[in-house]
Chain A
Amino acid sequence: MKKLLLSSVVIIVGFVFISRLSYLQLFSFSPNQTLEDPAIKAIYDYPERGYVYDRNGELLVGNQPAYDVMVIPREVQPLDTLEFCNLLGIDKKAFISKMKRARTYSPRLPSVLVPQLSKEDYAGLQEKMRHFEGFYIQKRSLRYYATNSAANVLGYISEVNERDLQNNPYYVAGELKGRTGIEKQYEETLRGRKGVKYIQKDRFNRDIGPYKAGKLDTLPQQGKEIRITLDKALQEYGERLMHGKRGGIVALEPKSGEILAMISGPTYDPALLVGRERSRNYTKLHYDTISKPTWDRSILAEPSPGSPFKTLNALVALQEGVIDTSTKFRCYNGFYVGNTKRGCHCGGGMRDLNSGIYQSCNAYFAGTFRKIYGKYKTTDEGMDAWEKHMKSFGLGGYLGTDLPTGRPGRIPDKAYYDKAYGDNRWASSFIISNSIGQGEVAATPLQLANMTAAIANRGYFFTPHVIKSVGNGSIDPRFTEPRYTTIDRKHFEPVIEGMANVYKYGTARWVQVPGIEIAGKTGTVENFVRINGERMQLTDHSVFVAFAPVENPKIALAVYIENGYYGARYAGHIASLLIEKYVKGEITRKDLEKRMLEKTLEHEYAKPYSGEPFKINEYVW
């Protein structure tokens, strides 16, 4: 025992050491450790972020230099603090606290003293800078916006956070990343790839030469410029028209699915989210929970579509063969569901397809809807057929655009009603509101515009998208494949005729555009809101979908104005102005334009918050 004691100690210790070493060097070892190694510093060379142009090659987003005043605390010499503060435009107290923070972070590493000076401030500071030892100016690149509109489409960039760093090893703290819009969607294209140089450091953080003689270093790859499908002029004009109004507008080019304009009201100037005021502005926008300027109503709002939806019901009925163009229904200034009467504003009388559309007769479409369901033995089967047709128009599901957000809208199916009412406890009368675009159906303005484009194309559409070209390359082929609806081409003509008559004789005869034949459909959507637990009805939403010209359509659009009252009142006017602007390039009806630019609906939006009883749907301008 006593002879073996020391030998056993030697052997046991040897085993313990080797196990500990295998834990350290075999199990804890990660081959990908160059970045964690404090002895190796990566110095990055950032390429310029790609520019963004509109469909006509007009610059939308570029870059601007910004100048950070940096400080290396231990190199600072005694200085005239007052003069320096005046130059920087900060007060002495802020200066002292910033210096303290920089020193706490590291006395020998640079910290930002004053971020993002403008070009003007920089010019004044530049020549005096050499008097202040330990301070220097570092140039950075910020986004520059050549337009004050399209914030919802362009999106913004901001510094990466902890989660981004964990999810994507490419990013390093302090880098910028696209957060919304195309900045997010085309992040990698716009960003390019940063170049990296590895430097060997000692523990005092001094350079002692390139790491591995620069074998691992890479060159930066330039970010690509992209062209998007927006029409800068149309977008800007649309946003001006939306002044003081809430809602969404989407305009498409039917023959390509390209998004010409995508407007959400209220919106904000994209330049607000750049530079020194960024954080304050963002907070202000983000916490405006009543008008929600950062909420993109053109793709996120899902209201009931209202009467424009009638056109689809007509198409489905034609396709199913339950009506033809001469099928007539009588309107009793309304229609009956059981013993209850539902109203109609069309004026009453016998309605066929054409006048049903242009007078927007509720009774006609309730009848049509009943006929669709009447064709099938059970409501379930009818529901399935109806749902299949509706979904083929891109409703009730994500459209698959190249925007990072979106909503699916809703086309209710039998499961939806089974859940709401119980299995077999509902019939077509329960869901008759869907015939006129009220009830359970819901669609985003983008979906409405897309549906209109499908009608304009007589039966197919392209997935709406904002990318036009990347560098010199082509775009994702899924945007150039037509998607066919389940409705035969021949059924579109009578419906389009009805829609054209909306302008000639119907609900929108006051908003004609001289020289352009437009097909459209008004919508007036009842809506309710719950404030402090009290359900109240507000002034109707004003909806309008249209495309023009009727033959060879160039633009299809949906305009959705919250609480704008009847369809032709706001939405119709705005739609007609946008069409005229896009097709003709100029506006002939100056007085209408002036009225639309100036009118606001703020008084409507204030009503439910006034705390007093209010009237809705008032005929006052």
Chain B
Amino acid sequence: MSGRGLVKRIDWISVFLYAFLVFIGWINIYSTTLSNPDGSIFDFSTLYGKQLFFIIISLGVIVLVLFVETSFFERFASIFYISSLVLLVGLFLFGKTIAGATSWYDLGFLNLQPSELAKVTTALALAKYLSDIQTDIRNKKHQLYALLIILLPALLILPQPDPGSALIYFSLFFVLFREGFPLYYLGILVIIVVLFATTLMFGTVWIGIGLGTLTVLTFLFKRKSTKIPIIPLSIALVLSILFSLSVNFVYENVFEQRHRDRFALWLSLEKDKDKLEEIRKTIGYNTYQSEKAIESGGFFGKGFLEGTRTKGDFVPEQHTDYIFSSVGEEWGFMGTTTVIIVFSLFFLRLIYVAERQKNDFCRMYGYGVISILLIHYIINIGMVIGLLPTIGVPLPFFSYGGSGLMFFTLLLFIFLKLDSNRLRDGL
């Protein structure tokens, strides 16, 4: 394959959006971690210097990926997947503990996080399995295998403990839905989440009354011709009520106080205003500071390097998970909306690119990439702006961290490499 052909065929729009996000991300890391304004940006003792170093490494990763034979990724997908599972298991023996989570291998110059690697390999493995000519997504047994591919790494990551990373794998359900996995599974998932939240907010009695009213209304306003399956409906009703009751039990007896506090904060369950404020400032300290920092940016922001809360290091983890709050404070509403719009365009472009694939494996892998990046984006920004409870996941391409940046880059550019090859026959 010639380099010239590659330059022509690669999707430059995606590459450009990627580069833009990495650049903006670095600018904000620079602002949050700057302590000596006279220092060089190549000073590798500083975090922004280190991140610059990782960006250069990522460039190396990109070059490497682009010159690898395309079929390599599909052919060895299972092996990659199994190796990453082995690495995850290995953590129980050789893992390095940082901030309470045994999620890293200490490689000396870099802490490697196998859960990051596993995101790539799981996406590949899932794509490979689903694109196999013998796999039929409508077959229950095959559905189960696909679920296992997704859930196995998640189950290994959960006890590290790293629930945030484990949660990411669930995004791969989007791939399944795209490939014909029945959509009502999604419906059930949504109903479960809604029931969970509403039970906490209103209590089982009101859920019962609400569901009952809904049922009665359905019967009242149905068309004469429509037949309602009475038995499944009643089972669903009973199950919902039982689920609602179990939520109360789980919430009171299985959850710990810190979990309850997070929910209390997120759903405003605490009715006492002062107490809620108290929780906001203690349990919700990170989110509180982050919201305040974003709020104080206003429309235009305080300007680059002028963010007082950013400078004062008020938002914890601001260069990693809470990097978006620095955008909010220094660049204001203009900056935050720009980032949201660029991210959205990026995802829409990737979806477009995925849909134009003729090869099933490429499309499925593409969907895997998009799902993983999208779920990071949703959970991270949702948390930083106070819409979601605190779950520690980084913002792709933005957050400080070499391992993260490298694997997100790897994830993306394998897809762009596959895409660049789409007009050729076979792989």
Can you name the residue of chain A whose Cβ is closest to the Cβ of B294? A24
- A10 to B340: give the CA distance in the assembly, Å: 10
Among listed A35-43, A63-71, A168-176, A303-311, interface-contacting one? A35-43
Given the known inter-chain contacts A10-B344, A10-B351, A21-B294, please indicate yes or no for A203 contacting B314, CB distance below 8 A: yes
Would B178 and A3 count as touching, CB distance under 8 A?
A: yes
A82 within 8 A of B: no
Among listed A25-33, A423-431, A434-442, interface-contacting one? A25-33
B73 within 8 A of A: no
B337 partner residues in chain A, CB cutoff 8 A? 18, 21
Q: Can you list, as one digit per residue, whether each of B148-181 has a CB less than 8 Å from chain A (1) or not (0)?
A: 0000000000000000000000000010011010
Q: How large is the interface on B (under 10, 10 to 19, 20 to 34, 35 or more residues)?
A: 35 or more
Among listed B45-53, B89-97, B138-146, B328-336, interface-contacting one? B328-336
- A17 to B382: give the CA distance in the assembly, Å: 7
Would B174 and A29 count as touching, CB distance under 8 A?
A: no
A211 within 8 A of B: yes
A516 partner residues in chain B, CB cutoff 8 A? none
Partner of B333, one of A10, A22, A200: A22
> Which residues from 347 to 367 on chain B have a C-beta closer than 8 Å to any C-beta of chain A?
347-348, 351, 355, 367
Q: Which of A11, A13, A26 has the most CB of B within 10 A?
A: A13
- A203 to B371: give the CA distance in the assembly, Å: 36
- A7 to B352: give the CA distance in the assembly, Å: 9
Would B371 and A14 count as touching, CB distance under 8 A?
A: no
A606 within 8 A of B: no
Would A29 and B295 count as touching, CB distance under 8 A?
A: yes
Q: Can you list, as one digit per residue, whether each of A363-407 has a CB less than 8 Å from chain B (1) or not (0)?
A: 000000000000000000000000000000000000000000000
Can you name the residue of chain A whose Cβ is closest to the Cβ of B382? A17
Would A203 and B299 count as touching, CB distance under 8 A?
A: no
Q: Can you list, as one digit per residue, whether each of B317-344 has a CB less than 8 Å from chain A (1) or not (0)?
A: 0000000000010001100110011011
B207 within 8 A of A: no
Would B308 and A39 count as touching, CB distance under 8 A?
A: yes
Partner of A203, one of B295, B313, B341, B348: B313
Given the known inter-chain contacts A25-B294, A38-B309, please indicate yes or no for A13 contacting B378, CB distance below 8 A: yes
Would A2 and B178 count as touching, CB distance under 8 A?
A: yes
Min CB distance B396 to A, Å, is 14
Would B312 and A200 count as touching, CB distance under 8 A?
A: yes
B312 partner residues in chain A, CB cutoff 8 A? 38-39, 200-203, 208
Partner of A2, one of B183, B294, B308, B374: B183
B385 partner residues in chain A, CB cutoff 8 A? 17, 20-21, 24
B311 within 8 A of A: yes
Would B333 and A9 count as touching, CB distance under 8 A?
A: no
B386 within 8 A of A: yes
Would B308 and A200 count as touching, CB distance under 8 A?
A: yes
Would A16 and B314 count as touching, CB distance under 8 A?
A: no
- A203 to B333: give the CA distance in the assembly, Å: 24
Given the known inter-chain contacts A28-B295, A202-B311, please indicate yes or no for A21 contacting B336, CB distance below 8 A: yes
- A16 to B312: give the CA distance in the assembly, Å: 29
> Which residues from 233 to 276 on chain A have a C-beta closer than 8 Å to any C-beta of chain B?
none
Given the known inter-chain contacts A13-B378, A203-B312, A208-B312, please indicate yes or no for A24 contacting B178, CB distance below 8 A: no
Can you name the residue of chain B whose Cβ is closest to the Cβ of A22? B333
Name B's interface SS.
Answer: helix
A24 partner residues in chain B, CB cutoff 8 A? 291, 294-295, 328, 385-386
A290 within 8 A of B: no
A21 partner residues in chain B, CB cutoff 8 A? 294, 328, 333, 336-337, 340, 385
Would A20 and B370 count as touching, CB distance under 8 A?
A: no
> Which residues from 170 to 205 on chain A have a C-beta closer than 8 Å to any C-beta of chain B?
200-203
A1 within 8 A of B: yes
B412 within 8 A of A: no
Would B296 and A9 count as touching, CB distance under 8 A?
A: no
Given the known inter-chain contacts A17-B385, A200-B308, please indicate yes or no for A5 contacting B174, CB distance below 8 A: yes
Given the known inter-chain contacts A21-B337, A38-B309, please indicate yes or no for A14 contacting B344, CB distance below 8 A: yes
Partner of B311, one of A5, A11, A33, A39: A39
B387 within 8 A of A: yes
B297 within 8 A of A: yes
Given the known inter-chain contacts A6-B351, A25-B294, A37-B296, please indicate yes or no for A14 contacting B340, CB distance below 8 A: yes
B381 within 8 A of A: yes
B381 partner residues in chain A, CB cutoff 8 A? 17
- A16 to B378: give the CA distance in the assembly, Å: 10
Would B308 and A211 count as touching, CB distance under 8 A?
A: yes
Min CB distance B44 to A, Å, is 23
B298 within 8 A of A: yes
B343 partner residues in chain A, CB cutoff 8 A? 14
A7 partner residues in chain B, CB cutoff 8 A? 348, 351
> Which residues from 205 to 227 on chain A have a C-beta closer than 8 Å to any C-beta of chain B?
208, 211-212
- A211 to B298: give the CA distance in the assembly, Å: 19
- A20 to B294: give the CA distance in the assembly, Å: 11
B377 partner residues in chain A, CB cutoff 8 A? 13
> Which residues from 81 to 106 on chain A have a C-beta closer than 8 Å to any C-beta of chain B?
none
- A211 to B302: give the CA distance in the assembly, Å: 13
- A201 to B174: give the CA distance in the assembly, Å: 46
> Which residues from 606 to 620 on chain A have a C-beta closer than 8 Å to any C-beta of chain B?
none
Min CB distance B349 to A, Å, is 10
Partner of A208, one of B291, B299, B311, B340: B311
A202 partner residues in chain B, CB cutoff 8 A? 311-314
Would A10 and B314 count as touching, CB distance under 8 A?
A: no
B371 partner residues in chain A, CB cutoff 8 A? 6
Min CB distance A216 to B, Å, is 12
- A499 to B393: give the CA distance in the assembly, Å: 94
B297 partner residues in chain A, CB cutoff 8 A? 25, 29
- A585 to B370: give the CA distance in the assembly, Å: 98
Would B333 and A25 count as touching, CB distance under 8 A?
A: yes
Can you name the residue of chain B whose Cβ is closest to the Cβ of A10? B347
Min CB distance A27 to B, Å, is 9
Can you name the residue of chain A whose Cβ is closest to the Cβ of B300? A25
Would B174 and A6 count as touching, CB distance under 8 A?
A: yes
Would A25 and B308 count as touching, CB distance under 8 A?
A: no
B311 partner residues in chain A, CB cutoff 8 A? 39, 200, 202, 208
Can you name the residue of chain B whose Cβ is closest to the Cβ of A41? B312
Min CB distance B172 to A, Å, is 12
Partner of A10, one of B308, B348, B386: B348
- A203 to B28: give the CA distance in the assembly, Å: 19
- A565 to B343: give the CA distance in the assembly, Å: 92
Min CB distance B386 to A, Å, is 7
Q: Can you list, as one digit per residue, whether each of A34-52 has a CB less than 8 Å from chain B (1) or not (0)?
A: 0001111000000000000
> Which residues from 300 to 316 on chain B have a C-beta closer than 8 Å to any C-beta of chain A?
306, 308-309, 311-314
Can you name the residue of chain A whose Cβ is closest to the Cβ of B352? A7
- A201 to B313: give the CA distance in the assembly, Å: 9
Would A25 and B298 count as touching, CB distance under 8 A?
A: yes
Would A3 and B355 count as touching, CB distance under 8 A?
A: yes
- A33 to B308: give the CA distance in the assembly, Å: 11
B298 partner residues in chain A, CB cutoff 8 A? 25-26, 29, 31
Partner of B314, one of A17, A18, A25, A39: A39
Would B386 and A20 count as touching, CB distance under 8 A?
A: yes
Q: Which of A10, A14, A20, A203 has the most CB of B within 10 A?
A: A10
Q: Measuring CB to CB, which residues of chain A are less than 8 angstroms from any residue of chain B?
A: 1-3, 5-7, 9-11, 13-14, 16-18, 20-22, 24-26, 28-29, 31, 33, 37-40, 200-203, 208, 211-212
Q: Measuring CB to CB, which residues of chain B are less than 8 angstroms from any residue of chain A?
A: 174, 177-178, 180, 183, 291, 294-299, 306, 308-309, 311-314, 328, 332-333, 336-337, 340-341, 343-344, 347-348, 351, 355, 367, 370-371, 374, 377-378, 381-382, 385-387
Would you mind naming 10 contact pairs between A and B with Cβ atoms under 8 Å apart? A9-B174, A11-B344, A13-B344, A24-B385, A24-B386, A25-B332, A25-B336, A26-B299, A40-B308, A202-B311
Known: A2-B177, A13-B377, A17-B340. 13 other contacts (CB 8 A): A5-B178, A13-B378, A14-B341, A21-B328, A21-B340, A29-B296, A37-B309, A38-B309, A39-B308, A201-B312, A202-B313, A208-B312, A211-B308
Give the top 8 A-B pairs by smallest Cβ distance, nearest first.
A39-B312, A39-B308, A25-B333, A14-B344, A29-B298, A202-B312, A10-B347, A24-B295
